[in-house]
Amino acid sequence: MAEVLPQQFLVDIKSILDELADSVVVDVEFPLEPLVIGTESFVPVSRARVEVTVTYTGTGQVVALGRVEVDVSTHCSRCLTEFTMTASGDVEGFYVKPGHDDEIPEEQEVEFITDRSIDILPAIRSALILELPFAPLHDESCPGICLTCGADLADGACDCEPVRADSPFAALQGLVAESDDTA
Ligand SMILES: [Zn+2]
Ligand SMILES: [Zn+2]
């Protein structure tokens, strides 16, 4: 049966809201929805392992800092092989009580503290998305597939003639090489 994926992960911060610099450590594992970057999708195959310290910094503000790690399944952008990789990132979440957000710089992304709890799921997803590759490779040296016959060049060279410089395919090959560089 498919597991119901949480749409938020609430941390109760009642216990830290009275004392400046009080903190609570959140050490949990929970399932995540797939992460999508451009046309690539990364499907979690493990629970997200999260370790975050939530600290009250005074004047109605709370920060959540820590790490997240999850194993995801994706496809190699060169040869389309499905493979699993570990994604990890630094979690940085800022939360304010409603009415205390006027001192916060505009560029700072903040979430609100509601009912004395905070939702750390958006910060966890952002941390992973920031670190995931735009063009995942199943192996740094993946030779990709032949543009003519589609053979997986990791299995050895195919019988196709190398693309000649005056062929219309040469331009296409140049384009593919270029988009690989910008990855
Ligand atoms: Zn590959
Ligand atoms: Zn070929």
Contact 85, 70 (CB under 8 A): no
CB crowding 56-90: b at 16 or more within 10 Å, else e: beeebbbbbebebbbbbebebbbbeeeeebebebe
Beta bridge partners, 49, equal 29, 69
Average pLDDT value over all residues in the chain: 87
Convert the pLDDT of each residue in 12-21 to its tens digit: 999 998 888 9
Whole-structure pTM value: 0.79
The pLDDT, as a whole number, for residue 173 is 58
Do 67 and 51 form a contact (C-beta atoms < 8 A)?
Answer: yes
Output 154-157 pairs: Cβ under 8 A, ≥24 positions apart. 154/79
pLDDT per residue over 117-172, tens digit each?
A: 999 999 999 999 999 999 999 999 999 999 889 888 888 889 887 655 565 555 55
Check pLDDT > 60 for residue 1: no
**pLDDT value of residue 115:** 87
| Ligand 2 is an ion; residues with CB less than 5 A from it | 146, 148-149, 151, 158, 160
Mean pLDDT value of segment 71-80: 94
- Tokens standing for residue 54: 């939530």
The Å distance, Cα 23 to ligand 1 centre, comes to 44
Query: Percent of the chain at pLDDT above 90?
Result: 60
For the ranges 35-49, 64-78, 104-118, 130-144, the lowest mean pLDDT is seen at 104-118
Provide, for the chain, the percentages of residues in helix, strand and coil under a 3-state DSSP scheme, each rounded to the nearest 5. Answer: 15, 35, 45
**What ranges do the domains of the chain cover?**
10-131, 143-183
Distance 169 CA to ligand 1 centre (A): 21
Q: Is the pLDDT higher at 118 or at 39?
A: 118
Ligand approaching nearest to the C-alpha of 144: 1
Per-residue pLDDT, averaged over 104-110, amounts to 78
- Cα of 172 to ligand 1 centre, how many Å? 19
Q: Is 112 helix (H, G, I), strand (E, B) or coil?
A: strand
